[in-house]
Amino acid sequence: MVHLPLAPSLAPGASLRRGDVSDAQWLDWRWQLGHMLTTAGELARVVALAPEELDGLAGSAHLFRIGITPYYASLMDPVHASCPIRLQAIPRAAETRIRDEEMRDPLGEDSHNPAPSVIHKYPDRVLFLVVDRCGIYCRHCNRRRLVGGDEPPTTADLEAGLDYIARTPRIRDVLLSGGDPLLLSTRRLDYLLGRLRAIRHVEILRIGTRLPVVCPMRIDGELTAALRRHHPLFVNTHFNHARELTPEARAACERLVDAGIPVGNQTVLLRGVNSSVRSLRALLRGLVRSRVRPYYLFQGDTVIGTDHLRTPVDAAMELYRGLRGWISGMCIPELVLDAPGGGGKVPIVPSYLEQLDADRAVVRSYRGERIEYPQPRERDCTVPYDDIYFAGVPADDDREGSAEAGGGRMPIGSPP
């Protein structure tokens, strides 16, 4: 069994406001995680709960766990229930209205699970789910069926996952996720990364975490020193609003970058949270100023209880038009929809191409101008040197992730 670090207890009824907590406690990531706000009573000490929040807290307990670090709660607007932090962290009554089209496992992960703790959907990369707890239980979580429970992966589960990765040579990229891997002790995380780095065919290690957003004090010197031992290693985090880019959060991201660890960001497009051009531009520019590369802008997944947070696809594409060309290309993430049922990530960027034939392409600029691009005379795109450079190198095994374990589908057109 994987055990998480524990924090000292807080006296019942004690204040969790920043001004009422000592620096030693507030800056201790174990204290933050050990004193997460989980009830209406605890939240009422921080914000004036609106009726729809009280109804949501009362009605959604059976759907998904509630948990917010004191640090992240301190970012909430205490008066306005439309605060983007509150909308992400405090359930609303709408969360209890489950739609027929909503799914428990919207990404089809349970059908691509060839070994304990491993999700293998794409040919050359896997998710390695190393823990089932988070530093916040986001109301838009697409893995709520797995996280926030009381059955974390056992040591035997993790060993079976490591064994599957070791005996599957087409796996080049391993993404540690969960739950949040940075909830593990630094020693435990260092051990798992070391085991993965020792597998010769694993080229890239990644960690998916929201702790730079909700508990930035976790990104300390001990952690960054451990992570930098396992390059090439990348971190993807999850900022959704510029309000989250506090000095503490920005410093946490910069500590990772200073340790040679590239940091990317995956934003979920959430209705009423960041579903305006102004909000998205502020977030994306702020990320780049913090040396964080915007990576994905996700259309919300069709997970149960989230219909009220999802943005229509046509609205998402129109929002994207307000980014491309209007702000630096460094700030532009890829707008994608993760196809329900396990179809994978599909770009849904608006098309700027109006006409295409052998002679010309007609495009619309980001300002709406109609411009012609002449096609080249030559059409053959063969790379002659490929036969030399790749001599003796076998072609990529592009079967769907867990096909060799009997659990995956073969691509259309593949031989039996």
Task: Report which of 107, 111, 147 is spatially closest to residue 299, judged by C-alpha positions.
Answer: 107
Q: What is the CB-side half-sphere exposure of residue 103 using CA atoms within 13 A? A: 16
Nearest to 36 by CA among 239, 244, 246, 215: 215
Residue 284 phi/psi, 5° resolution? -65, -40
Three-state DSSP state, 109: helix
In this prediction, residue 370 has a pLDDT band, given cuts at 50, 70 and 90, of: very high
Residue 12 has pLDDT above 80, yes or no: no
Question: What is the Cα 377 distance to its own chain's centre?
Answer: 44
Q: Which amino acid is at 224?
A: T
For the whole model, what pTM was predicted? 0.89
Banded model confidence at residue 331, pLDDT cuts 50, 70, 90: very high
Residue intervals in the chain for CATH 3.20.20.70: 109-347
3-state secondary structure of 265: strand
Q: Return the CATH number of the domain spanning residue range 109-347.
A: 3.20.20.70
Length of the chain, in residues: 416
pLDDT band at 75 (very low <50, low <70, confident <90, very high): very high
The pLDDT of residue 6: 47
Q: How far apart are CA 136 and CA 143, in angstroms?
A: 13
Task: Identify any residues that bridge with 236 across adjacent strands, giving them in sequence order.
Answer: 208, 264
* Average pLDDT of the residues of the chain: 90
CA nearest 238: which of 261, 200, 270? Answer: 270
With H, G, I as helix, E, B as strand and everything else as coil, classify residue 258.
helix
In a 10 Å sphere around its CB, with 0-12 CB exposed, 13-18 middle and 19+ buried, how is residue 102 labelled? middle
The SS3 assignment for 293 reads strand
* pLDDT value of position 146: 80
Q: By 3-state DSSP, what share of the chain in percent is helix, strand and coil, each rounded to 5?
A: 35, 15, 50
> How many other C-beta atoms are found inside a 10 Å radius of the C-beta of residue 101?
9
Whether residue 18 contacts residue 74, with contact meaning beta carbons closer than 8 Å, is answered with yes
Q: What pLDDT score does 260 carry?
A: 97
Would you say the C-alpha torsion 240, 226, 114, 173 has a positive or negative sign? positive
Give the phi and the psi of residue 59 in degrees, each rounded to 5.
-100, -15
- Most confident of the following: 12-21, 332-341, 394-403: 332-341
Taking the CA atoms of 342, 343, 347 and 348 in sequence, report the sign of the dihedral they define: negative
Taking only the tens place, the pLDDT of each residue in 274-317 is 999 999 999 999 999 999 999 999 999 888 889 999 999 999 99
Structure-token pair, residue 352? 């700027």
